[in-house]
Amino acid sequence: MIETKPPQALSLFDLIGREWMLDHAVTRVSFNANATAVACVLQNGTLAMLPVADAEDPEQRIRMDLETGRTTIRPRENPPQPEVRTDLRDIGGASCRLGEQGFAIAGAGGSLWQVTARGQTVRIADDGVAPITALCCVGPAHFCVARGAHLSLLDVEGRSEKATCHLPAPVDQMATSPDGTLLAARSASHFMILDARTMEILSEIPAEGVVTTLAWSPDGRWVAGGCEDKALLLVDVSRKQADRIVDFPGPVASVAFNAKAGVLVASGAFRVVGWRLPDLPFGTHEGDSILTGKPGLTLVDCVASNPKRETCAVGYANGLVTICPLGQRDELMLCEGRGAPVSAMDWSQDGTHLALGFADGRAAIVSFPKAMFK
């Protein structure tokens, strides 16, 4: 007698996700502005581009049974289109969106490169007097380049310099406010708040901590920074003061504001940590905390807020990825943990696609059908 086993059930990721194996750990993923490509920076200093266009888009594979009204999605039949490897080597730590389709990438020796959605590379600037330590998109028409303590505001189209300034200390992180008017530049012990259009220094705010990521609140009042030393740094721009929320179980590798829900969320604990705006914890005020998802035994490594919905993606040290409604205990499992940590996440600006990077070299794009959110 021949024993037959039932076919293994497909997971949600099998139905709406695509996966690539990129050989080296993925340290950063980022959509371009019009969501046609995802740039994956790899640990070996190279760059891979993933196409967002999908011949078997999940939206096209959805079917509704006319008798029962039940909605189903048929499995994918073909593998995804392969990634495109660029000829860039020794990529620096800095990158940002550039225009509608491309990216600005810091190269070795202080050079600056433009990378298109198809992986074509164009040198924007030769090796400079100093390495590029930070890059930041400033609205659709400009971007800012930091070479240590020197900042330059450049035009996206002509690459001409529109404004410049020299700060008291080297800059290693930058972020632009949602309305594009303010720029936060982080040095080892201070935040500089600048006018993003003129590079005029508006305030200098002392703030300790080894900051690895920055995020602005929707109203432009707060800048949140995740710190390697297991702390969350909050800067009240209006009051020109900073405070640290300490004693996280692990490094706070990611922070994110959600404009739709009006909340701040952070990684570094055994569940998603969050507070409602505008009552963030500051000084003696404990803030209005929220509970999102369920507590577990594995640290949350990454959080990424959906720009259009009151949800966030959550990545864990064991590779598990979930989608959580903010302020609720519900969770939707997206990817089962395979042991390799989630190392990077990014949403497309329309909230339809989620890019994922893993420490074992996997990268993925998950495309959510509209029917999932009705």
Please, what are the averages of pLDDT over each run of 10 residues along the chain (374 residues)?
Answer: 53 93 94 96 93 91 75 86 88 88 90 92 81 93 95 92 94 95 94 96 94 95 96 96 95 96 96 94 92 90 96 95 95 91 96 97 94 68
Q: 3-state DSSP call for residue 109?
A: helix
Element (H, E) at 12: helix 12-16
Would residue 283 be called left, alpha or beta, if left means φ above 0 and alpha means ψ between -120 and 50 degrees?
Answer: left
Task: Indicate the pairing of strand 231-236 with strand 241-245.
Answer: antiparallel
CA distance 222 to 150: 24
Contact 213, 265 (CB under 8 A): no
Contact 105, 96 (CB under 8 A): no
> pLDDT at position 5, please?
44
In sequence order, the 6+-apart residues with CB closer than 8 A to the CB of 164 are: 150, 151, 152, 153, 199
Q: 3-state DSSP call for residue 88?
A: coil
> pLDDT at position 8, please?
60
| Nearest CA-CA partner of 25 in 340, 329, 345, 244 | 340
Contact 62, 369 (CB under 8 A): yes
Give all strands (DSSP E) within 14-160, no chain letters: 17-21, 26-31, 37-42, 47-51, 62-64, 71-73, 84-85, 95-98, 102-106, 112-115, 121-125, 134-138, 142-147, 150-155
> pLDDT at position 373, please?
66
> pLDDT at position 43, please?
92
> pLDDT at position 137, please?
95
Q: Model pTM?
A: 0.93
CA distance 170 to 146: 8
In the block, residue with structure tokens 């420490």: 359
